[in-house]
Structure 1
Amino acid sequence: MRKNFIKVLLKKVHQSDKSFTSSFKKPKIHKNSISHFPFPQMESASELVEFPLLLTPIDSHYRACTIPYRFPSDNPRKATPTEISWINLFLNSIPSFKKRAESDTSVPNAAEKAEKFAQRYSDILEDFKKDPESHGGPPDCIVLCRLREIILRELGFQDIFKKVKDEENAKAISLFENVVRVNDAIEDEVKRVENLVKGIFAGNIFDLGSAQLAEVFSKDGMSFLASCQNLVTRPWVIDDLEAFKVKWIKNSWKKVIIFVDNSGADIILGILPFARELLRRGSQVVLAANDLPSINDVTYSELVEIISKLKDEEGNLVGVSTSNLLIANSGNDLPVIDLARVSQELAYLASDADLVVLEGMVSSSLGIILLSEIFIALMLGLLLAVN
């Protein structure tokens, strides 16, 4: 019974990985889909395509899971130390996911189903440790994340983090104007952009997919201002901030694509003040958010609602017009992203972008450093003190 269940899951994983095409076209924008919102938005597409700014040929230049879990010389039937470390990381996160699932009032018999989730997922992870190819592996970050989501959804759990996302969004919305005005008060443009970037890093600590951060959050909550003060001092291990500041002063990018990450302080107090500054400088900004819920990542529909609440009656974000702000459905349904699989709408919008920012998706997308010189890897500076 258990083996059959696992086979079905792995089949779904592999089908999901193969179900995309390599071309994209101009999307259809249905008037009804935008009539209730005074800013443009794009609908999700069923087919996933390659992100158009990846270096080609993609097969030889891009790999979604950049951190290699194994090498060709490794025994295919023996888990490598790296594989074991990552599998243990996912095993350690199971209790926090189980706890969230147990409290999901939208699911009948949630406690019983949460226990099934924990058992099924841990069984698969333990099998991977014994034999990496036991279920069509070897495992990588995307496979491990997708298996977790599939099991949750099979049991009826669609969004186990919804309650905490809603609570943190409400808190962050109440702080947004103050955070923006603090940034606006910094007259020196270089210092202001540095403060905005640090705000992105501070906001990204609200990531409940991490067992360590989930524990910190459950005990003490998370303060955006405290996180700003607790940032690791520069220089960071990978620190290109000076180069970015030079480009910021010299450039006024025409179109910026920002892949967003978590709900709460991350999107509202980190990314949106940064996006607002870009809008003020004349850039068109496209915020790309997940199609479906995954951990506490903000979804496309949630982001539409958040921005609607933040705008004033004239459609401004604290005095800055949102006429050049677009919200796109990335087509993604995981807390990590594979740039070979994005929505057609996002691919179309990104085809003429001259700056791409991926924030908080380090686990799976370090390969994007191969994009081109237009990409500034802001996410690589995310080094926070959480103790």
Structure 2
Amino acid sequence: MESSGEMVRFPLLVDDNYRPCTIPFRSPADSPHTLTPTELSWIKVFLNSVPSFRQRAEADPTVPDARFRAQTFASRYTQILEEFKKDPESHGGPPDGILLCRIREQVLRELGFKDIFKKVKDEENTKAMSLFEKVVCLNDDIEDEAKRVENLVRGIFAGNIFDLGASQLAELYSKDGMSFLASCQNLVSRPWVIDDLDKFIVNWCKKSWKKAVIFVDNSGADVILGILPFARELLRRGTQVVLAANDLPSINDITYTELIEIISKLKDEHGKLVGVDTSNLLIANSGNDLPVIDLSSISQELAYLASDADLVLMEGMGRGIETNLYARFKCDSLNIGMVKHQEVADFLGGRLYDCVFKYTEVLD
């Protein structure tokens, strides 16, 4: 379904005082004219990301004078971040993660850059699609249901490492690439910083969900080798699955149109994903255009499809940790993501590249 019309509130939100950002950048007592330590640390995070974004923009073959425009982006966005230091209320502030992402995207788009990560996304999607059947079959070979579910969850974390919005991971990717199967084996040891996996597995084995809405994150291994095998397992159990993807490109996040194309390529001539019927698999345009998401503003189409869901999954650091970690829903919910910024690790009391698996059960 294509996104159109007015944006609406996600219908499964409980809290009337919903605030999307997890980390409080400031308190009511803070001076509106002075940057808080948290705001300063996050401005530094976004400043550190500028060089990798500039390099991607310089290599964009769809934009005339890409090198000059990329340098303009870097200087303009850097200037805005520096102006926030002097006056937190400049540029629509005070700043938070959503605003800093939105301004970055606005500057890129104003300069003609629509999708600076398209080349690497296409490469990673092709690579991941070639591994999809192997990953699925490895999961299917695990007869013990609890162990199979844990393996699927570990696959989500391993895929979520592919995140070019985190400057350290972007640098690592450019040097060495990423191996999905190796990443599965090398996750940080449990217990994770938030670890409700055992509780979730118990519920998985004793109950079934009629409809699940999954907010997907990155292209490549993340969505293809992490989320899709998990969604396929839900389909096998009779759950209808709605995958909600971005309307517009942002970093290396998968978009609605890209996800439709990927799934059409992965299906066989009978419309199945490695033997599993996909008639209950729906792809929705979330209406979002950022690597984070404010659930008070989603597409009407997604709101309609999600209204009767009994499981919501917020996947990835942007959607599931930096925003919406404490969002309350009318149904069972999962927040799954890897911690890829030291500032998030410090806030949660965990380790860099730690894992968040937060399961909240809503009792009838």
Name the TM-score, length of structure 2 as normaliser.
0.91
Q: Given the superposition, is the C-alpha separation of residues 214 and 178 from structure 1 closer, same or farther in structure 2, using an over 3 Å criterion?
A: same
Q: 2:90 aligns with which of 117, 134, 157?
A: 134
**What corresponds to 2:346 in structure 1?**
none
The CA deviation string for residues 21-62 of structure 1, in whole angstroms up to 9 with x for no partner, is xxxxxxxxxxxxxxxxxxxxx111221100001014x2x2x1
**What corresponds to 1:377 in structure 2?**
335
Q: How far apart in 1 are the matches of 2:352 and 2:284? A: 29
Amino acid at match of 1:132: P
What stretches of structure 1 of length at least 5 have no aligned partner?
Answer: 1-41
Amino acid at match of 1:153: R
Q: 2:141 aligns with which of 168, 177, 185?
A: 185
CA shift for structure 1 position 378: 2.9
Q: How far apart in 2 are the matches of 1:243 and 1:376? A: 11
* 1:364 correspondence with 2:323: yes
Q: How far apart in 2 are the matches of 1:138 and 1:113? A: 27
**What corresponds to 2:222 in structure 1?**
266
Q: How far apart in 2 are the matches of 1:106 and 1:380? A: 32
Question: Counterparts in 2 of 1:43-82, with a 5 A limit?
Answer: 43-56=2-15, 58=16, 60=17, 62-82=18-38
Are the equivalent residues in 1 in contact too, given 2:115–2:250 (CA < 8 A)?
yes
Q: Given the superposition, is the C-alpha separation of residues 128 and 208 from structure 1 closer, same or farther in structure 2, using an over 3 Å criterion?
A: same
**What corresponds to 2:210 in structure 1?**
254
Question: Counterparts in 2 of 1:281-360, with a 5 A limit?
Answer: 281-360=237-316
CA shift for structure 1 position 374: 1.0
The CA deviation string for residues 225-250 of structure 1, in whole angstroms up to 9 with x for no partner, is 11111101100011000111011011
Q: How far apart in 2 are the matches of 1:377 and 1:333? A: 20
Amino acid at match of 1:147: I
Q: 1:104 aligns with which of 60, 64, 70?
A: 60
Matched residue SS, 2:90: coil
CA shift for structure 1 position 379: 3.3
* 1:198 correspondence with 2:154: yes
Matched residue SS, 2:284: strand
Amino acid at match of 2:10: F
The CA deviation string for residues 135-179 of structure 1, in whole angstroms up to 9 with x for no partner, is 331011111000000000000000000000000000000000000
Q: How far apart in 1 are the matches of 2:80 and 2:326? A: 27
Q: How far apart in 2 are the matches of 1:373 and 1:312? A: 33
CA shift for structure 1 position 115: 0.3
Q: How far apart in 2 are the matches of 1:381 and 1:136? A: 28
The CA deviation string for residues 95-131 of structure 1, in whole angstroms up to 9 with x for no partner, is 0000000000000000000000000000000111122
* 1:237 correspondence with 2:193: yes
Identical aligned residues as a percent: 71
Are the equivalent residues in 2 in contact too, given 1:201–1:384 (CA < 8 A)?
no
**What corresponds to 2:102 in structure 1?**
146
Q: Given the superposition, is the C-alpha separation of residues 372 and 240 from structure 1 closer, same or farther in structure 2, using an over 3 Å criterion?
A: farther
**What corresponds to 1:22 in structure 2?**
none
Are the equivalent residues in 2 in contact too, given 1:202–1:224 (CA < 8 A)?
yes
Amino acid at match of 1:50: R
Question: What RMSD, in angstroms, separates the aligned Cα atoms of the two structures?
Answer: 1.4
Amino acid at match of 1:376: L
Are the equivalent residues in 2 in contact too, given 1:286–1:325 (CA < 8 A)?
yes
Q: 1:212 aligns with which of 154, 168, 185?
A: 168
Q: How far apart in 2 are the matches of 1:356 and 1:381? A: 20
Q: Given the superposition, is the C-alpha separation of residues 323 and 373 from structure 1 closer, same or farther in structure 2, using an over 3 Å criterion?
A: closer
Are the equivalent residues in 1 in contact too, given 2:128–2:220 (CA < 8 A)?
yes
Matched residue SS, 2:313: strand
Are the equivalent residues in 2 in contact too, given 1:201–1:381 (CA < 8 A)?
no
Are the equivalent residues in 1 in contact too, given 2:12–2:331 (CA < 8 A)?
no
The CA deviation string for residues 246-274 of structure 1, in whole angstroms up to 9 with x for no partner, is 11011111000000000000000000000
Matched residue SS, 1:379: strand
What stretches of structure 2 of length at least 5 have no aligned partner?
Answer: 341-350, 355-364
Q: 2:117 aligns with which of 136, 161, 170?
A: 161
Question: Counterparts in 2 of 1:22-33, with a 5 A limit?
Answer: none
Amino acid at match of 1:45: S
Amino acid at match of 1:365: N
Are the equivalent residues in 2 in contact too, given 1:230–1:385 (CA < 8 A)?
no
Q: How far apart in 2 are the matches of 1:79 and 1:372? A: 36
| More deviation, 72-81/165-174 | 72-81
Amino acid at match of 1:134: S
Q: How far apart in 1 are the matches of 2:105 and 2:80? A: 13
CA shift for structure 1 position 384: 6.8
Q: How far apart in 2 are the matches of 1:115 and 1:138? A: 26
